[in-house]
């Protein structure tokens, strides 16, 4: 089994190597190599997945490791860790990745760096799959950085565009800031426990080698990595900009898989999170969820809306994990991967069509701008239908996968709030519900503006065509996968996945912290969980519907004037539209500050360190000038600092050498007398 | 009888006069005369010491050697000064400063 | 004659042949030089296969390998004593490799080629000798032998400010090495050979504390000697605030010489500390380690910050070297396996990475004749292969996992964190800054719109690929599978840690 | 030893004296018809002297002529050194077609230096110094039509005469204090009588004026730059090495015999009673000497004058090893002198050759020389870096032993001052290398030198390189020379 997992990961790597060296010379620029690799990976994952389902064992774990570095007293072991979570994750990644690979055949057709694109996609697939199967933080950290690299390469794929290269750089550096925390956490863990392996860490935490404040610190710091990668506040700024990359990339990396890696990491580390760490994580998630959805409401770029939506949904997942709802968080990761990938691919389909239309008409407008769309549902029926399904799933409407997972999350946070003594924790479910309203609202705003109503630009509208099969088939597949039934089997209750395979197999791992301290980290009774769940379900259906209705009221039935509304909202609108000015604040403080600091240091290096003695030299020179003996011709440009003083010294000394023989004799006599006088004194 | 001190004081005075001449005279020959004074003070010392301290003739022999050396030195030096005079028409040493610093 | 001697002196033989060749026969000069650097490389590679990973070396002659011990100046206790252990051998091998590569990077030298290659070969002998010498006097001679060729190589074949850079380099390093000379003499007169009872320059005898005189047991004396040695080495590293020679020298030197400077010469500073200061004065090393860690931290951050402010591509790379050498200092300061092995591995890996970076700058400089980072842009469109290789180099410098730099840095962090938590964490900020300046550079040079000036810029050629590709392969290979290098080092370095109280 | 039995230990000097007379006669007969006769004879005479001196190596310690002079291995060493130096100078002057007097004066100077190296009595010191001095004055002004040369001669003679006078005055006081003229006897008397030590001190300082001016020690160095610049370059080279070596021999003998505390137990205490002990005084003077030499040398644009200051600096280095007052230090000085001879001669010879061809000694003349006269330029660079003290060149070995001696004597601050001076000196030595190789010039045409000159340079370059790597023979020679000295 381990071998299969390794092969799944290595196939794309092989594809990458082939692509990078021979891609251009292969027929069809070798896209089939990458596609073949990932589809084979999908096949193998499916095999593992089916085995998992037939085994139906929640406690299934298999590990195998080898020594990577052995320094005698210090070893780094690397290994593979397969359990239900990682197998499911493999499945999700290979599905989405395969579909995106296929989708890209049409989308990227004719791009001058077509083979390079597939190479990067393969490298990404490798890194992501590797990240999933490593059994240790060190390997995860390595892959973590590699997926970051791929994200960088793919965001900046059209690097001729300054915006793309800026976005790529921003993504990487922002992630590095998060990774700094990750590294810090890693160091705490390895210092305390002496190993990176998840099993060793679990043992170490359980035996108290790492506990108390350091444990909390380790948990929070490791989570910092997730803040970066999963675009949580305050490091969320890179993700919307990442939409500069080709849309398939957005779908694969910046919606479905890589950004979920943060969530996956938190899930992996779930066993070692202390309560304080969990609360911190939960609040970060909750705040991000509401914060991003507020921004999403006012955006006009189709992909940016989706990007903020992604940030918001990732916040949900993080919030759930922090609140102890392991299964719910991971569940949402999986369902979200499907419909969010679909949404992006669907938007890609629209953009593709817009792009072609604009190209044909030779107009240069932004193909992503929803204000130029409208009424596309007739022109692009498949895209419209699938898009609608995803939207319903995302909004949390029953019968779709999103409803199940979102409901689980909200129920989980509600139960968490109930179980905690401090009532402030009710903020978490409140944020969750508020975000749910906004989600439903902005998603339907998007659907209505894009596909319904009057075409805003007739000329473009006339030239819009449905996308080819390679695009619509993946859309359809993902749409199907957004139906509830896949997640509730063997149960068929559209309102609860409680009896489905998913909830059965993805049970929360045993908490090592609890083992050490002897009491559960988050103690939620069966009853609380059940009642919260029911309550949450009702509320969430209501809020979703109200969000949808508002969207229809404003944008479809035009019950309210949008202009007037924005006027009315005033400050709030501007804050939302300008993304709360976070970028601007960073630009003004961090970026400017850093550059100024660098220039200061550079100046310091030239002027102070290097010129410390030049100053002395200057003084020497000027004293010499005063005495009228300054020799302007400083030895041919060899202005060396120490030599300058020495030379100043020498310049004074040589004046004694007057050429007068009597001075010489006199000086010698004086010298002798001085020696004798010194002796006397 | 004249004491050793007297000789020594006189010799020291001569030495100092010689030095002053060497340092102060502008004329090269004057400087050479200063050197002669110095050497003579040396001679005086040697002879005085030979008489009062050593009670041998070592000092006196040295004095004779010094006289010879002084003569040789003067000969060479005068030749050199003459050479200078031939080209500069002066033996003012303060003007001889082609090379300095 | 042993292998180490051959490796060390074959370049000198090559130099003599080069000098005898007619000035006009360029190809002969080049190929003789290539051969004179290739043979040592082959021999060193052969020695690698013969290397016994279980022998520690450091202070025990019987566990040194490829030892050559001959009388030289017996009246003064000076011996010809060469040998390799896990500390020196990786550096010897790297030196032979980089020298060979640099011959090809020097192919286009356009004036006085004969002198250039002759000096270059002399330089190689000096470098290998430094890493191989176990007699302090011999070490010092090799150490200084490098100065002269370097002065001329920078001064004659360098950039516009070459004279200034050359003399600055020369004065700085000489200043350091004369202090080392004094420390060496002080050690000499206070160490006795246990067998003969005479004073000795044999480093291994100096490492045996029982051979020290009473005077050398005085703490203040030991501190002074340690500091004198340390300044000598710190200038070479170069450690803040002794680093100002480096940006000038690196920027003005011709490409191949920058490669050698950054790839090998900088390592000699840290090598000297590990080879000489630590084992001879272990107690002082232990008690001053905190300062070393702080200097390491300053180097990392300072180098990175200043690198970010640079407009000159090569200067940026030069400052990045300062930053990366900070990791070596930090790793060395902690005396844990991971830290010290990480430090030496960083020496090795930085040798390959920075070499690539300088070669990369050389390639573009040959074409554009300037190095202003802002003056490029969009080269990725016209030079995809070059961009690819450069990206490997830049990402390796950035410490991307899968590249050797990452392994080294993470080991340094792992090793240093338990000892100096705060310093390590502050140092780790360096990885963010590094990412920032590397990516910013990458963006300004290779990404964005193509600068119309470079519409017809030629792609990297085969020779240039030949110089960069092996390094790129090594960087990735040892990033994924560092065991071959780590195995070379670990016995020696673990043994070294035990010596330090 | 009485005069008659001393004769057989005095053969080299006698031989040289006879040779001088022979050369005078030959000069009278020859009348410049054969331009190689006189130089050939001089070389032969000097070679003969060297060989004869070598035979004296094994003769041990001998006091000659009623203790006027001594013959010991150390004096032999210095004799061979100065005679060898003179051979090079003679060969180097060949192109100049000097008159017969030139050679005669060189030989007489040589004889004077022989006496200096072995002088053991105040009288002998005085006489030998004067012999060397008088002939040197004339040699400095040998180009009597040249203003600079004449000026150098005048300055030299006036300065020299004054210094000698002052020294003689000091000697007379020393004689008065002890009643002795023999050095060993003087020390004996000082120890037994223990006179007021300020007087002793003053007398010694006054004597220093005489020695100091010979070896170019601060503050008695002032004549050096002017005389070196003005004198014919071969003579400058000669001055920079031979009289300096002889002066050091004299200084070593005088200081160790009269006040050296290694020699006689008890002397040390007496020295300690003096507020400033002789070692500290010399240490300070040596630091002043080298710092002054180096810093002013930095300012020079005339290479010859720069080398004059450089030679002051090197006097400082040499004095540095003096402060330890032991055999190690003396051996280091002797070793250094050998290497200093090679590299300094080499440097001056090349300066001379360049000045002959290109008409100037200014640094500008050297611009681009590396491409116009590669052999000379490379050799010059080797000499320059050897003077700086960089391995693997002989100069490094010399400095190495100097530093070794003082480090072993625990004079750390002195050692630090010394190495820092080395670093400073690099600046101007490298400046010459820079001018030759780094500076681009308009003129590219080759400058060719005569093969003879090149061979002569090679005789200096090759040892400079070889001794940098293997110097055991020289080391053993110095050790052997110093072994018998100082009694133990």
Digit-coded pLDDT (tens) for D420-446: 899 888 888 998 999 999 888 877 788
A 627-666 residues with CB below 8 A of B?
Answer: 654-655, 657-662, 665-666
Tokens of A397: 């409407």
Mean pLDDT of chain D: 87
Give, for A81, the enclosing helix (H) or strand (E).
strand A75-83
Mean pLDDT of A499-522: 76
Higher pLDDT, C464 or A452: C464
CB A313 within 8 Å of CB A332:
yes
Task: State residue A635's pLDDT score.
Answer: 27
Model-level pTM?
0.90
Task: State residue A609's pLDDT score.
Answer: 62
Residue of A647, A652, A661 to mutate for B, most B C-beta atoms under 10 A:
A661
Nearest to B41 among D154, D161, D169 (CB): D169
Nearest-Cα distance to chain B for A598, in Å, is 46
pLDDT band for position D488 (50/70/90)? Answer: very low
Total tally of structural domains belonging to chain C: 1
How would you classify the pairing of strands D62-64 and D69-71? antiparallel
pLDDT band for position A643 (50/70/90)? Answer: low
Task: State residue A396's pLDDT score.
Answer: 84
Residue of A148, A150, A151, A165 to mutate for C, most C C-beta atoms under 10 A:
A165
Beta-ladder partners of C312 = C372
Higher pLDDT, B12 or A597: B12
Task: State residue C264's pLDDT score.
Answer: 92
pLDDT band for position C122 (50/70/90)? Answer: very high
Does the pLDDT at position D86 exceed 90?
yes
Task: State residue A625's pLDDT score.
Answer: 38
CA dihedral C266, C268, C271, C277 (to 10 degrees): -110
Choice among A507-516, A639-648, D218-227 with the minimum mean pLDDT: A639-648
Nearest to B100 among A657, A662, A665 (CB): A657
Task: State residue A642's pLDDT score.
Answer: 57
Mark yes or no for CB contact A678/D276 under 8 Å. yes
Mean pLDDT of chain A: 81
Mean pLDDT of A269-285: 87
Q: Chain A interface residues facing chain D, Cβ-Cβ under 8 Å?
A: 631, 635-636, 638, 640, 643, 646-647, 649-651, 653-654, 656-657, 659, 661, 663-665, 667-672, 674-676, 678-680
The chains in contact with chain C, meaning 3 or more Cβ pairs closer than 8 Å, are A, D
Digit-coded pLDDT (tens) for C377-396: 888 888 888 988 998 999 99
Q: Which residues of D touch C167 (CB under 8 A)?
A: 427, 430, 434
CB A284 within 8 Å of CB A340:
no
Nearest-Cα distance to chain B for D230, in Å, is 8
Q: Report the alpha-carbon angle A238-A555-A348, nearest 5.
A: 40
Mark yes or no for CB contact C337/A72 under 8 Å. yes
Q: Which residues of C touch D392 (CB under 8 A)?
A: 141, 144-145
Nearest to A679 among D206, D275, D424 (CB): D275
| Sign of torsion over alpha carbons C220, C224, C229, C231 | positive
Digit-coded pLDDT (tens) for A422-472: 888 888 888 888 888 888 888 888 888 888 877 777 777 777 788 888 888
Mark yes or no for CB contact C167/A638 under 8 Å. yes
The CA distance from C125 to C115, in Å, is 16
Residue of D160, D212, D259, D296 to mutate for A, most A C-beta atoms under 10 A:
D296
| Sign of torsion over alpha carbons D53, D59, D63, D66 | negative
Tokens of B95: 């003007």
For D142, nearest residue in chain B (alpha carbons): B80
Total tally of structural domains belonging to chain D: 1
- State what percent of residues in chain D have pLDDT above 90: 46
The CA distance from A585 to A581, in Å, is 6
Give, for A82, the enclosing helix (H) or strand (E).
strand A75-83
Percent of residues in chain B assigned helix, strand, coil, to nearest 5 = 80, 0, 15
- Within a domain: residue B96? no
For C406, nearest residue in chain A (alpha carbons): A142
Nearest to C494 among A73, A145, A639 (CB): A73
Digit-coded pLDDT (tens) for C320-368: 999 999 999 999 999 888 899 999 999 999 999 999 999 999 998 888 8
pLDDT band for position A634 (50/70/90)? Answer: very low
Nearest-Cα distance to chain D for C438, in Å, is 34
Digit-coded pLDDT (tens) for A114-142: 888 888 888 989 988 888 888 888 888 88
Mark yes or no for CB contact A173/C429 under 8 Å. no
DSSP characters for C410-425?
A: HHHHHHHTTT-HHHHH
Digit-coded pLDDT (tens) for C46-62: 999 999 988 888 888 88
Task: State residue D486's pLDDT score.
Answer: 55
Query: Which residues lie closer than 8 Å to D416 by C-beta, 6 or more apart?
Result: C179, C182
Task: State residue D52's pLDDT score.
Answer: 92
Mean pLDDT of chain C: 90
Does the pLDDT at position D78 exceed 80?
yes
Count of positions (residues) in chain C? 501
The CA distance from A178 to C31, in Å, is 51
Q: Which residues of C touch A177 (CB under 8 A)?
A: 432
The CA distance from A301 to A515, in Å, is 49
CATH assignment at residue B72 = 1.10.287.3510
Query: Which residues lie closer than 8 Å to C421 by C-beta, 6 or more apart?
Result: none
Q: Which residues of A touch C381 (CB under 8 A)?
A: 160
Find the largest Cα–Cα distance for chain B: 53
The CA distance from A376 to A318, in Å, is 35
Closest C-alpha to A366, from A302, A442, A431, A448: A302
For C388, nearest residue in chain A (alpha carbons): A20
For A669, nearest residue in chain B (alpha carbons): B19
Does the pLDDT at position A620 exceed 60?
no
Q: Do chains B and D touch (3 or more CB pairs under 8 A)?
A: yes
What are the CA-CA distances from residue C290 to residues A195, C286, C296, C335, C424 (Å)? 26, 8, 10, 11, 11
Choice among B50-64, D27-41, D368-382 with the minimum mean pLDDT: D27-41
> Can you give the three-state secondary structure of A236-262, one letter per residue?
CCHHHHHHHCCHHHHHHHHHHCHHHHH
Does the pLDDT at position D273 exceed 60?
no
Mark yes or no for CB contact A69/C411 under 8 Å. yes
Task: State residue A82's pLDDT score.
Answer: 87
Mark yes or no for CB contact A658/B19 under 8 Å. no
pLDDT band for position D32 (50/70/90)? Answer: low
Query: Which residues lie closer than 8 Å to D320 by C-beta, 6 or more apart?
Result: D283, D286, D287, D290, D402, D406, D411, D414, D418
Tokens of C224: 């002074």
Task: State residue A618's pLDDT score.
Answer: 53
The CA distance from D409 to D416, in Å, is 13
The CA distance from B77 to D161, in Å, is 9
Nearest-Cα distance to chain A for D202, in Å, is 6
Nearest-Cα distance to chain C for D142, in Å, is 39
Domain membership of residue C495 as a residue range: 296-501
Total tally of structural domains belonging to chain B: 1
Mark yes or no for CB contact B35/D165 under 8 Å. yes
Q: What is the DSSP letter of D340?
A: H
- Residue C500: exposed, middle, or buried by beta-carbon count in 10 A (0-12, 13-18, 19+)? middle
Domain membership of residue D459 as a residue range: 277-488
- Within a domain: residue C324? yes
For B97, nearest residue in chain A (alpha carbons): A659
Beta-ladder partners of D119 = D69
pLDDT band for position D265 (50/70/90)? Answer: very low
Mark yes or no for CB contact B97/A657 under 8 Å. no
- Within a domain: residue B99? no
Q: How many CB atoms lie within 10 A of CB C8?
A: 27
Higher pLDDT, D354 or A523: D354
Q: Report the alpha-carbon angle A550-A365-C376, nearest 5.
A: 125
Q: Which residues of B touch A653 (CB under 8 A)?
A: none
The CA distance from B36 to B75, in Å, is 12
- Within a domain: residue D457? yes
Does the pLDDT at position A627 exceed 70?
no
What phi and psi values does residue C66 have, to the nearest 5 degrees? 55, 40
Digit-coded pLDDT (tens) for B26-46: 888 999 999 999 999 999 999
Using omega within 30 degrees of 0 as the cis cutoff, is the peptide bond preceding D27 cis? no
Mark yes or no for CB contact B98/A659 under 8 Å. yes
For D123, nearest residue in chain B (alpha carbons): B62
The CA distance from D217 to D211, in Å, is 8
Domain membership of residue B55 as a residue range: 4-88
For C155, nearest residue in chain A (alpha carbons): A638
CB D223 within 8 Å of CB A664:
yes
Residue of B54, B77, B86 to mutate for D, most D C-beta atoms under 10 A:
B77
Q: Which residues of D touch A665 (CB under 8 A)?
A: 158-159, 162, 222
- Within a domain: residue D381? yes
């Amino acid at each position: 089994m381990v071998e299969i997992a390794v092969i799944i990961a290595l196939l794309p790597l092989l594809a990458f190597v082939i692509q990078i060296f021979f891609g251009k010379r292969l027929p069809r620029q070798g896209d089939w190599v990458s596609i073949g690799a990932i589809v084979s990976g999908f096949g193998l994952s499916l095999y593992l997945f089916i085995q998992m389902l037939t085994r139906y064992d929640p406690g299934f774990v298999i590990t195998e490791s080898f020594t990577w570095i052995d320094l005698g007293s210090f070893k780094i072991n690397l290994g593979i860790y397969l359990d239900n979570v990682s197998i499911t994750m493999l499945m999700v990644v290979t599905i989405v990745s395969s579909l995106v690979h296929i989708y890209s055949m049409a989308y990227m057709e004719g791009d001058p760096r077509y083979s390079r694109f597939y190479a990067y996609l393969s490298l990404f697939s490798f890194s992501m799959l590797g990240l999933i199967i490593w059994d240790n933080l060190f390997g995860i950290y390595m892959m973590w950085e590699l997926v970051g690299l791929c994200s960088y390469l793919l965001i900046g794929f059209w690097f001729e565009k300054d915006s793309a290269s800026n976005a790529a750089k921003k993504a990487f550096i922002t992630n590095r800031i998060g990774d700094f925390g990750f590294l810090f956490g890693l160091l705490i863990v390895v210092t305390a426990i002496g190993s990176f392996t998840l099993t060793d860490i679990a043992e170490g935490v359980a035996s108290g080698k790492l506990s108390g404040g350091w444990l909390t610190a380790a948990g929070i710091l490791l989570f910092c990595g997730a803040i970066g990668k999963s675009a949580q506040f305050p490091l969320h700024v890179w993700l919307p900009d990442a939409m500069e990359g080709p849309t398939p990339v957005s779908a694969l990396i910046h919606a479905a898989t890589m950004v979920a890696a943060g969530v996956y990491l938190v899930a992996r580390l779930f066993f070692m999170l202390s309560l304080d760490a969990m609360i911190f994580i939960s609040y970060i998630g909750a705040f991000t969820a509401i914060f991003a959805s507020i921004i999403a409401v006012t955006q006009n770029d189709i992909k940016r809306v989706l990007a903020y939506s992604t940030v918001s949904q990732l916040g949900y997942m993080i919030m759930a994990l922090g609140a102890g709802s392991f299964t719910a968080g991971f569940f949402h990761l999986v369902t979200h991967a499907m419909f969010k990938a679909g949404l992006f691919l669907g938007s890609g389909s629209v953009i593709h069509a817009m792009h072609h239309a604009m190209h044909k008409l030779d107009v240069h407008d932004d193909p992503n701008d929803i204000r130029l769309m409208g009424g596309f549902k007739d022109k692009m029926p498949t895209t419209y239908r699938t898009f609608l399904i995803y939207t319903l799933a995302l909004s949390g409407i029953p019968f779709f996968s999103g409803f199940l997972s979102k409901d689980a999350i909200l129920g989980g946070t509600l139960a968490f709030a109930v179980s905690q003594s401090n009532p402030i924790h009710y903020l978490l479910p409140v944020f969750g519900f508020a975000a749910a309203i906004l989600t439903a609202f902005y998603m339907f705003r998007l659907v209505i503006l894009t596909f319904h109503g009057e075409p805003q630009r007739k000329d473009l509208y006339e030239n819009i065509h449905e996308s080819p099969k390679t695009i619509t088939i993946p859309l359809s597949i993902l749409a199907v996968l957004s139906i509830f039934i896949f997640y509730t089997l063997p149960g068929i209750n559209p309102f609860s996945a409680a009896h489905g395979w998913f909830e059965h197999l993805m049970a929360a791992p045993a908490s090592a912290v609890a083992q050490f301290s002897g009491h559960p980290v988050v103690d939620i009774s069966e009853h609380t969980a059940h009642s919260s769940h029911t309550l949450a379900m009702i509320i969430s259906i209501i809020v979703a519907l109200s969000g949808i209705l508002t969207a229809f009221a404003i944008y479809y039935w035009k019950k309210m004037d949008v202009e007037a509304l924005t006027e009315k909202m005033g400050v709030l609108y501007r804050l939302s539209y300008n993304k709360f000015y976070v970028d601007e604040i960073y630009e003004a403080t961090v970026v400017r500050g850093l550059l100024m600091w660098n220039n200061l240091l550079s100046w310091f290096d030239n002027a102070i360190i290097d010129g410390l003695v030049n100053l002395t030299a200057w003084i020497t020179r000027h004293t010499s000038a005063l005495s009228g003996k300054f020799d302007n011709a400083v030895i041919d440009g060899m202005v060396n600092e120490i030599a300058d003083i020495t030379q100043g010294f020498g310049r004074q000394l040589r004046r004694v050498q007057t050429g007068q023989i009597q001075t010489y004799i006199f000086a010698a006599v004086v010298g002798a007398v001085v020696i004798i006088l010194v002796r006397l004194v | 009888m004249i004491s050793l001190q007297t000789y020594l004081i006189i010799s020291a005075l001569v030495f100092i006069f010689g030095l002053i001449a060497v340092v102060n005279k502008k004329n090269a020959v004057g400087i050479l005369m200063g050197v002669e004074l110095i050497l003579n003070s040396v001679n005086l010392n040697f002879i005085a010491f030979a008489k009062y301290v050593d009670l041998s003739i070592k000092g006196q022999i040295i004095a004779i050697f010094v006289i010879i050396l002084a003569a040789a030195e003067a000969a060479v030096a005068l030749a050199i000064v003459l050479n200078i005079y031939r080209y500069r028409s002066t033996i003012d040493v303060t003007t001889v400063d082609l090379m300095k610093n | 004659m042993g292998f180490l001697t051959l490796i060390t002196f074959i370049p000198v033989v090559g130099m003599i042949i080069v000098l005898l060749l007619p000035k006009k026969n360029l190809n002969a000069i080049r190929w003789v030089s290539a051969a004179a650097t290739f043979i040592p490389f082959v021999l060193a590679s052969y020695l690698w296969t013969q290397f016994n990973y279980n022998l520690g070396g450091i202070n025990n002659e019987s566990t040194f390998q490829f030892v050559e011990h001959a009388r030289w100046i017996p009246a003064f206790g000076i011996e010809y004593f060469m040998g390799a252990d896990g500390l020196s051998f990786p550096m010897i091998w790297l030196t032979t490799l980089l020298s060979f590569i640099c011959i090809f990077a020097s192919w286009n030298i356009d004036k006085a080629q004969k002198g250039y290659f002759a000096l270059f070969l002399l330089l190689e002998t000096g470098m290998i000798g430094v890493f191989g010498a176990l007699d302090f006097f011999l070490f010092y001679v090799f150490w200084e032998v490098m100065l002269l060729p370097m002065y001329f190589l920078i001064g004659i074949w360098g950039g516009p400010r070459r004279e200034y850079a050359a003399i600055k380099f020369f004065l700085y390093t000489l200043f350091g090495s004369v202090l080392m000379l004094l420390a060496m003499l002080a050690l000499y007169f206070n160490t006795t050979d246990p067998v003969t009872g005479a004073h000795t320059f044999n480093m291994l005898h100096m490492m045996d504390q029982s051979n020290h005189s009473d005077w050398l047991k005085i703490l203040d004396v030991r501190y002074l000697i340690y500091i004198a040695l340390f300044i000598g080495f710190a200038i070479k590293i170069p450690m803040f605030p002794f680093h100002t020679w480096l940006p000038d020298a690196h920027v003005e030197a011709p490409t191949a010489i920058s490669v050698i400077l950054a790839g090998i010469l900088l390592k000699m500073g840290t090598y000297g500390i590990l080879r000489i200061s630590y084992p001879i004065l272990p107690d002082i090393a232990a008690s001053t380690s905190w300062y070393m860690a702080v200097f390491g931290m300053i180097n990392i951050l300072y180098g990175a910050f200043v690198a970010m402010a640079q407009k000159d591509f090569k200067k940026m790379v030069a400052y990045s070297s300062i930053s990366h050498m900070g990791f070596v200092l930090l790793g060395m300061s902690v005396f844990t396996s991971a830290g010290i092995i990480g430090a030496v591995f960083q020496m090795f890996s930085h040798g390959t990475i920075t070499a690539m970076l300088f070669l990369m700058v050389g390639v573009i400089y040959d074409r554009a004749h300037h190095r202003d980072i802002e003056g490029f842009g969009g080269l990725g469109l016209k030079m995809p292969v070059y961009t690819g290789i450069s990206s490997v180099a830049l990402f390796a410098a950035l410490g991307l996992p899968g590249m050797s730099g990452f392994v080294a840095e993470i080991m340094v962090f792992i090793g240093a964190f338990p000892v100096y938590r705060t310093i390590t964490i502050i140092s780790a900020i360096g990885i963010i800054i590094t990412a920032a300046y590397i990516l910013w550079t990458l963006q300004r040079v290779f990404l964005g719109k193509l600068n119309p000036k470079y519409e017809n810029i030629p792609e990297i050629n085969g020779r240039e690929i030949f110089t960069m590709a092996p390094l790129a392969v090594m960087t990735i290979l040892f990033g994924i599978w560092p065991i071959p290098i780590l195995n070379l080092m670990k016995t020696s370095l673990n043994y070294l840690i035990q010596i330090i109280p | 030893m009485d005069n008659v039995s001393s004769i057989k230990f005095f053969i080299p000097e006698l031989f040289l004296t006879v040779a001088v007379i022979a050369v005078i006669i030959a000069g009278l007969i020859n009348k410049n018809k054969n331009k190689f006769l006189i130089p050939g004879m001089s070389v032969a005479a000097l070679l003969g002297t060297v060989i004869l001196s070598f035979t004296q190596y094994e003769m041990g310690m001998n006091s000659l002529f009623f203790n006027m002079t001594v013959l010991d291995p150390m004096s032999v060493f210095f004799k061979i050194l100065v005679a060898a130096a003179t051979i090079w100078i003679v060969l180097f002057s060949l192109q100049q077609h000097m008159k017969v007097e030139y050679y005669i004066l060189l030989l007489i100077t040589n004889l004077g230096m022989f006496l200096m190296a072995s002088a053991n009595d105040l009288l002998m010191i005085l006489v030998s110094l004067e012999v060397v001095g008088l002939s040197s004055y004339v040699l400095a002004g040998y180009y009597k039509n040249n203003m600079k040369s004449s000026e150098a001669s005048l300055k030299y003679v006036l300065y020299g005469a004054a210094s000698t006078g002052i020294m003689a005055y000091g000697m007379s006081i020393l004689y008065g204090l002890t009643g002795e003229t023999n050095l060993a006897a003087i020390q004996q008397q000082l120890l037994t009588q223990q006179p007021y030590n300020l007087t002793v001190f003053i007398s010694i300082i006054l004597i220093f004026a005489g020695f100091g001016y010979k070896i170019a020690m601060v503050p008695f160095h002032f004549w050096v730059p002017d005389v070196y610049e003005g004198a014919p370059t071969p003579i400058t080279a000669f001055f920079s090495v031979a009289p300096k070596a002889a002066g050091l021999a004299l200084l070593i003998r005088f200081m160790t015999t009269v006040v050296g505390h290694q020699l006689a137990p008890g002397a040390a205490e007496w020295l300690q009673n003096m507020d400033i002990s002789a070692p500290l005084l010399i240490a300070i003077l040596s630091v002043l000497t080298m710092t002054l030499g180096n810093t002013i040398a930095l300012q020079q644009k005339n290479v010859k004058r720069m080398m004059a200051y450089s030679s002051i600096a090197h006097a400082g280095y040499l004095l540095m090893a003096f402060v330890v007052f032991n055999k190690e230090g003396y051996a280091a000085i002797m070793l250094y002198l050998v290497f200093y001879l090679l590299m300094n001669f080499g440097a001056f010879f090349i300066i001379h050759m360049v000045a002959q061809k290109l008409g100037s000694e200014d640094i500008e003349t050297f611009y681009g020389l590396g491409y116009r006269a590669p052999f000379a330029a490379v050799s010059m660079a080797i000499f320059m870096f050897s003077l700086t003290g960089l391995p693997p060149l002989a100069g490094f070995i010399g400095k190495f032993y100097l530093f070794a001696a003082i480090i072993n004597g625990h004079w750390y601050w002195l050692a630090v001052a010394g190495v820092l001076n080395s670093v400073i000196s690099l600046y101007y030595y490298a400046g010459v290398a820079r001018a030759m190789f780094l500076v681009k010039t308009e003129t590219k045409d080759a400058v060719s030198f005569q093969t003879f000159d090149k061979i002569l340079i090679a005789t200096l370059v090759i040892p400079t390189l070889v001794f940098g790597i293997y110097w055991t023979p020289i080391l053993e020679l110095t050790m052997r020379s110093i072994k018998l000295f100082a009694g133990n």
